[in-house]
Chain A
Amino acid sequence: MNPMEQFAVTPLFSEPLLHIAGHPIYFTKQALMMVLVAVLSSLFLTIAVKPGRLVPSRGQSVAELSYKFVADMIHSTTGSDGLKFFPFVFTLFMFVLCSNFFGLIPGSFTVTSQIAVTFALALLVMLTVVVVGFAKHGIGFLKLFVPHAPWYLLILLVPIELISFLTRPISLSVRLFANMLAGHTMLAVFGGFAVSLSAAGGIYMGIAIAPLLLIIGIILLELLVAFLQAYVFAVLTCIYLNEALHLHDHH
């Protein structure tokens, strides 16, 4: 059993969906999961808040809590003028959170364990930051790369700040991707232990309970990681947006 097998992206239909510049585009397991995550999470959020009760039902309070959680997070990191980015940050947060949680269902597929997905999300964030920065400050946005220092140090510091800025989409995407990949690989490895131990028969059958118990612990840890990584992704988005909005004000 190969623990990495679960991350393979396989087409669902043998026929390609469409051709772009000669490349066949398939509808894959990955694409299906992304559609499911997007549709189910939006459906849940719209249906849950529909009754608009004063004393919320369970679903409504989940939707309201996640709204308030993200709104508080944006408010505390960027101030009140960052709240116009609420739809963007909330969509990102819910998409990552739901992908992480859906991935934990046995037999499903973790969208965020693909670097292509996380890097695309991170690029989207950085493009937004650059566009917002230039729209708000014009050419003054480039001051973000010029720290307060004498000019002879700036020759060294500007390239460093530039590299540091270019690092962000990579560290943002790799962190989410690596966490999900590591967790699910770990689950598959211990699952493999349990299966091969019980297949060995005899006294080994008894030992097979140990990896099973461990898996329960890892699943709990993964639930925490799934939430934590979605939170980290969203909060870093807010921090980067804050820099684009306010440049060096926070110093």
Chain B
Amino acid sequence: MTAPDPDRLTRLGKQLDALQARQTDANKRPPPNNLGIAGRFATEMVAALIVGGGLGWGIDWLFGHFGFRTRPVFLIVFFMLGAVAGIRNVMRAANEINAEIAAKAPRQADEE
């Protein structure tokens, strides 16, 4: 092994500093890929439908327990509410992803 060249070390240090300065918070994050986005939307939607339907079914079951025969009514109503909540979730997720992409865009323009 030869002794390290001090000039080379300082040059390397400067290069490292320059690279790290360019790496801001947003750049360090993994980019949202298309498959991930699709999977996210699908789970948000399906989960909302399951929760909505489940809640309605539970309320029907509870009322049936006390002698009210509401069986399909709350199931239908809450399933629809679940669908709306699912769309709301997907919109919220889309907004988050948009914000993430927007946060990254100006920086990429700087580098070009």
Determine if A171 and B44 form an interchain contact, defined as CB atoms under 8 angstroms apart: yes
Let me know if B44 and A163 touch, CB within 8 A: no
Residue of A nearest to B100 (CB): A235
Question: Per a CB cutoff under 8 Å, which of A161, A170, A178, A232 touches B51?
Answer: A170
Contacts of A167 in B (CB 8 A): 44, 47-48, 51, 85-86, 89
Interface size on B, residues (CB 8 A): 25
Identify which of B30, B52, B84, B89 contacts A228 (C-beta below 8 A). B30
Known: A171-B43, A231-B30. A160 touches B25 (CB 8 A): no
Interface range, A side: 20 to 34
Inter-chain CA distance A159–B29, complex, in Å, is 34
Q: Mark B65-96, 1 if CB is under 8 A from A, else 0.
A: 00000000000001001101110110000001
Q: Chain B residues near A227 (CB, 8 Å)?
A: 30
Q: Is A166 part of the contact surface with B, judged by Cβ < 8 Å?
A: yes
> Is residue B40 contacting chain A, with contact meaning CB distance below 8 A?
yes
Cα distance A69–B48 in the bound complex, in angstroms: 31
**B residues apposed to A, CB below 8 Å:** 25, 28-30, 36, 39-40, 43-44, 46-48, 50-52, 55, 78, 81-82, 84-86, 88-89, 96
Chain A residues with CB under 8 Å of chain B are: 69, 72, 76, 156, 159-161, 163-164, 166-167, 170-171, 174-175, 178-179, 224, 227-228, 231-232, 239
